Amino acid sequence: MADLVCEHLNMTFTNPQTGAAVEALKDINFNLKKGELLSVLGPSGCGKTTLLNVIAGFINATGGCAKLGDQVIDAPGVERGMVFQQGALFEWLPVSKNVDFGLRMKKNNAAENAKLVEKWLDIVGLQGFGDTPTYQLSGGMQQRVALARCLINDPEVILMDEPLGALDALTREKMQSLVLELWKETGKTIMIITHSVEEALLLGERLFVMAPRPGRVHKEYRLPFAERGLKESLREIKHDPYFSEVREEILTMIWDMEEEIMGRV
């Protein structure tokens, strides 16, 4: 397993009609060590999704490169699992077939697949739902299927783009605990994008606050809350004075950025 590295990453979109260029990412540099949990925050349009897409290999950077270990990323791969905001599940397949999709594409042994599916459904708390069509599941359950589908492939890095954005507060909290648990148990590198400052603080061992135009990493934090979240209740952590302090700081930061954007328009 290896570190996820970005070196002078640039991504400029050019509007094919007007020729206007948007600098979605400019000179991004970071090194995410194996097993680290990174959360990314930032105002809308600052390039978070773009960053994730580059790392996942869905789009190619216009400058610099992203590497997993020594491997330069230029295409999607099984070692980088992806969880989308809305499950992106295959609605024509039942839960179990969704979960073992990656394995089936690898032509794994069917009996082995079944065992793994059983195990992962158990981990994400969906035991007994194997034959249910995915469109009959609630939003939270669908996200858990998406998680299991990603994790069963045993990727080195897990990329999540606002995976909990569409969930209600309670389900969201449960899912946050689940993510932390999975992080602890599997020791995977996780990069998670969120719009919620609290979520970023709770889940982020490291935290990037990004700024727009051009998209860049504005400030980086190292936080203790993810570690603590493995043992303590998440709600207690939220009452911690340090937690509140950092939250207020980041909120002000993002607020200022938004103001700036508004002013510029």
Ligand X SMILES: Nc1ncnc2c1ncn2[C@@H]1O[C@H](COP(=O)(O)OP(=O)(O)OP(=O)(O)O)[C@@H](O)[C@H]1O
Q: Give residues in contact with Mg ion (CB under 5 A).
A: 49
Q: Looking at 9-17, 38-46, 145-153, 173-181, which segment touches another protein (CB under 8 A)?
A: 145-153
Closest distance between ligand X and the C-beta of residue 199, in Å?
Answer: 13
Alpha-carbon torsion 139, 102, 11, 15, what sign? negative
Closest CA to 216 of 25, 8, 82, 67: 25
Min dist. Cβ of residue 119 to Mg ion (A): 32
Taking the C-alpha atoms of residue 53 and residue 60, their distance in angstroms, rounded to an integer, is: 8
Sheet containing 189-193: order of strands: 80-83, 157-161, 189-193, 37-41, 206-211, 216-222
Question: Which of Mg ion, ligand X, another protein, none interacts with 1 (beta carbon under 5 to 8 A by kind)?
Answer: none
88 CB neighbour count, 10 Å cutoff: 12
Q: Which is nearer to Mg ion, 49 or 196 (CB)?
A: 49
Count of residues near another protein by CB under 8 A = 27
92 is a site residue for another protein (CB under 8 A): yes
Binding flag, residue 46, ligand X (CB under 6 A): yes
Are the C-beta atoms of residues 160 and 191 closer than 8 Å to each other? yes
Q: Is 164 in the site for another protein (CB under 8 A)?
A: no
Q: Within its chain, how far is the Cα of 162 from the centroid? A: 6
Nearest distance in Å: CB 97, Mg ion? 28
- Cβ atoms of 219 and 210 within 8 Å: the answer is no
Q: Find the shortest distance in angstroms from Cβ 82 to Mg ion.
A: 13
Residue 88 interacts with, from Mg ion, ligand X, another protein, none (CB under 5-8 Å by kind): another protein
Q: Is 75 or 170 the residue whose CB approaches another protein more closely?
A: 75
Single out the residue of 42, 47, 81, 215 in contact with another protein (rule: CB under 8 A).
81
- The residue among 173, 185, 191 whose CA lies nearest residue 236 is 173
The least CB distance from residue 44 to Mg ion, in Å, is: 8
Site string for ligand X, 3-22 (x = CB under 6 A): ----------x--------x
Tell me if residue 209 falls in helix, strand or coil.
Answer: strand
| DSSP state string for 120-143 | HHHHTT-TT-TTSBGGGS-HHHHH
- For ligand X, the binding residues (CB under 6 A) are 13, 22, 24, 42, 44-50, 215
